[in-house]
Amino acid sequence: MTTATFRQNTTFPTSDGKGYGYLAVPETGAGPGVIVIQEWWGLTDQIAGVVDRLAAEGFVALAPDLFGGRVTHNAADGAKWMSELPVERGVAQLSSAVDYLLAHDAVTGDALGAVGFCMGGGFVVALAAAVGDKITAAVPYYGADAGDADFSGLRAAVMGHFGAYDTAVPPEHARRLAARVRAHAGTTIELYFYPAGHAFANEENRSGNYDKAQAGIAWQRTIGFLRGALDRAS
């Protein structure tokens, strides 16, 4: 295990003190805001890279650090840390990050996008439901544990990206999420299934499933979806 404090370049107030995160602003100095939610590995170089790529596309992007600077290459550590983060506490910390980013001088518009991966993919729709019209576009990547979640507060359109061969989050889990969203909220949810396994968009390839071609397709769809939704929110 190593620490990732060098990836914490901003702080924001939370209900229980102070939150930390990694923020990137586009070269133009302003743009629509996007929250990036980490996998169970922590706020890694890979997640910081997603933030940087979004900034290169013109977004002001923020990845809150949900594990307090801890990162790992060990799945057992990641599973343990995730189990120690109740959904309610994680959503509360992420909601504080939403408020911080919306108030940031560089952010245009009155609503954000949110993108989450694996653990973060499970959080992203829950966060959008918790903050209502503060998030207008939610993008879960292979994270779909709807459980008994209440999505009635969801106002964001949802675009999900899943591996057709994923054994960790099988396609039926994604379809169950979509059914629950459609039953609870008057919003749209669109799912894409790729000929790939779990975590196919993570170029660090810890799962052994990284697929550059399919990740590229999912990324371009994500950027187009965010731009369209956030342009309408401006």
pLDDT tens, position by position, 156-205: 999 999 999 999 999 999 999 999 999 999 899 999 999 999 999 999 99
**Closest by CA position to 104, among listed 24, 40, 181:** 24
State the CATH number of the domain containing residue 126.
3.40.50.1820
Residues 144, 122: contact at Cβ < 8 Å? yes
pLDDT in the model for residue 146: 61
Burial 18-48 (b: 16+ CB within 10 A, else e): ebbbbbbbbeeeebbbbbbbbbbbbbbebbb
* Percentage of the chain lying above the pLDDT 90 cut: 86
Pairing type for strands 17-24 and 10-14 reads antiparallel
Residues 8, 20: contact at Cβ < 8 Å? yes
Residues 185, 215: contact at Cβ < 8 Å? no
Domain extent for 224? 2-233
pLDDT in the model for residue 67: 95
Residues 104, 39: contact at Cβ < 8 Å? no
Q: State yes or no: pLDDT of 1 exceeds 60.
A: no
Domains of the chain: total = 1
- Enter the tokens of residue 80: 């343990």
pLDDT tens, position by position, 191-226: 999 999 999 999 999 889 999 999 999 999 999 999
- Enter the tokens of residue 169: 């989050």
pLDDT tens, position by position, 92-141: 999 999 999 999 999 999 999 999 999 999 999 999 999 999 999 999 99
Q: Rounded to an integer, what distance in angstroms lies between the CA atom of residue 125 and that of residue 157?
A: 10
Give Cα 32 distance to the centre of its chain.
15
Q: State yes or no: pLDDT of 6 exceeds 60.
A: no
Q: What are phi and psi of 117, to 5 degrees?
A: -125, 130
pLDDT in the model for residue 5: 43
